[in-house]
């Protein structure tokens, strides 16, 4: 993870730069350091090492002094010529004063340093982001053995409409971002009221099904290194075991289409060979706490603005099977129950999420799938409860993240 020092005396400009750093995968945001003067920057560079120095040119030497037009250049000269300084590998100049930009640009070019002109109407954010992403890509491979978790949480859905929209209604200050060469759109959020930022990224797969979901998850794991990889959305349930609008947390999950077709007594027959992936035990224990919390679940149900299903909201932990097709046939669902007699639901993506996490390079994320029941995979299925099922799924995810995975310290 890149360690960055931002030297900037303008509070609003500093806020915008730091906000941008939060969005760049591979930046060690918890260790982003800030300096308001060249003196503060010198002290930090004597004490710590940084990969990237983002440097305002027009700076005060000390706090409460007037800014000097070339103090940033003097700082650069001092850390290159002085002893004991940890010299950053990359320097990016950032100034909003046209005359300073014109004077300093040739000097930065002579040292092969980047300099960006900062102005509300200028593309400074895109330029700075691209430079940082390039540094991440060319720096992190050499440190692959030192990789650590980046974002705390990644939330994935199979559908942009309904499922991701329900997640983006959570009050986590979402902002949209895209990365060069990557067709996916990512949304970044931060949990409020935390001493340290709890970073969350969310995305929807470009298509339904396990292949698209698996590719998306692998990409997210490589880019953001989440500690928890959470799938939200909707699922078909098994009638008699769950009710419409209930939420299923998958433990275990498998591909119900995995197996072998053979001919027995002249008739084709399918011999299932599922590989079932369970929920991590400590994570299951956290979900069980919410499973028993009737008050919180009732509050989620009461928060739906329209008429909810007629049964109380329940959270179930149990088997959820994934397959390549949408089911509207009870006989197919009944056949899948032979793989696990406690089957609660059938959908198209969860196994891909668990498998992508299981096969990821270290540090591996902990996967969890939390889906709302919208139908029973029978000929009477319809879209009536899709929005409600997506809503309860997102709300259960929010309670898990805010109250159980990253609770506010007392």
Instruction: Check residue 140 and give its pLDDT.
Output: 56
Is the Cβ–Cβ distance between 203 and 156 less than 8 Å?
yes
Average pLDDT, the chain: 87
Alpha carbons within 13 A on the beta-carbon side of 105: 10
- 2.40.30.10, 3.40.50.2300, 3.40.1010.20, 3.40.50.300: CATH of 4-146: 3.40.50.2300
3-state secondary structure of 3: coil
Residues 366-388 pLDDT 10s: 999 999 999 987 766 678 899 99
| 4-146 and 153-405 in the same fold | yes
The token duo for 51 is 């990969």
3-state secondary structure of 16: helix
Q: Which residues are CB-contacts of 268 (< 8 A; sequence separation ≥ 6)?
A: 261, 262
Residues 265-298 pLDDT 10s: 777 776 666 788 999 998 999 999 999 999 999 9
Q: Does domain 153-405 have CATH number 3.40.50.1580?
A: yes
Residues 79-128 pLDDT 10s: 888 777 888 889 998 888 888 888 888 888 777 788 888 887 778 888 88
Q: What is the CA radius of gyration of the chain?
A: 26
* pTM of the entire predicted model: 0.64
How far is residue 360's CA from residue 222's CA, in Å, rounded to a whole number?
9
**Domain spans of the chain?**
4-146, 153-405
Residues 249-266 pLDDT 10s: 999 998 887 766 667 777
């Amino acid at each position: 993870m890149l360690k960055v020092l931002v030297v900037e005396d303008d509070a609003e400009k500093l806020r915008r730069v730091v906000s941008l750093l939060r969005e760049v995968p591979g930046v060690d945001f918890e260790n982003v350091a800030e300096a308001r003067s060249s003196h503060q920057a010198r002290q930090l560079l004597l004490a710590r090492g940084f990969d990237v120095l983002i440097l305002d040119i027009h700076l005060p030497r000390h706090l409460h002094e007037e800014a000097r037009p070339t103090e940033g250049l003097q700082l650069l000269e001092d850390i290159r010529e002085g002893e004991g300084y940890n010299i950053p590998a990359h320097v990016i100049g950032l100034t909003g004063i046209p005359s300073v930009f014109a004077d300093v640009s040739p000097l930065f070019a002579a040292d092969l340093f980047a300099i960006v002109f900062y102005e509300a109407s200028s593309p400074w954010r895109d330029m700075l982001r691209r430079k940082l992403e390039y540094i991440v890509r060319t720096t992190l491979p050499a440190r692959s053995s030192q990789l650590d978790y980046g974002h705390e949480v990644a939330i994935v859905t199979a559908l942009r409409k309904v499922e991701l929209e329900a997640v983006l209604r959570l009050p986590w200050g979402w902002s949209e971002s895209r990365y060069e060469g990557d067709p996916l759109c990512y949304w970044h959020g931060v949990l409020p009221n935390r001493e340290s930022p709890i970073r969350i990224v969310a995305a929807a797969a470009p298509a339904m099904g396990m292949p698209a979901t698996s590719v998306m998850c692998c990409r997210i794991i490589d880019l953001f290194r989440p500690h928890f990889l959470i799938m939200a959305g909707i699922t078909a349930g098994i009638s008699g075991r769950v009710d419409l609008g209930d939420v299923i947390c998958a433990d275990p999950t498998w591909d119900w289409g995995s197996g072998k077709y053979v001919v027995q007594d002249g008739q084709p027959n399918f011999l299932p060979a599922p590989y079932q992936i369970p929920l991590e035990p400590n994570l299951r224990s956290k979900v069980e706490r919410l499973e028993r919390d009737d008050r919180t679940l009732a509050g989620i149900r009461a928060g739906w603005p329209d008429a909810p299903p007629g049964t109380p909201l329940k959270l179930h932990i149990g088997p959820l099977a994934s397959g390549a097709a949408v089911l509207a046939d009870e006989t197919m669902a009944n056949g899948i129950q032979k793989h696990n007699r406690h089957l609660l639901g059938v959908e198209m993506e969860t196994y891909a999420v668990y498998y992508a996490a299981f096969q990821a390079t270290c540090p591996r994320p902990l996967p969890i799938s939390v889906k709302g029941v919208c139908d029973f995979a029978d000929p009477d299925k319809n879209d009536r409860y899709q929005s409600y099922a997506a809503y309860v799924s997102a709300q259960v995810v929010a309670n898990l993240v805010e109250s159980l995975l990253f609770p506010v310290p007392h």
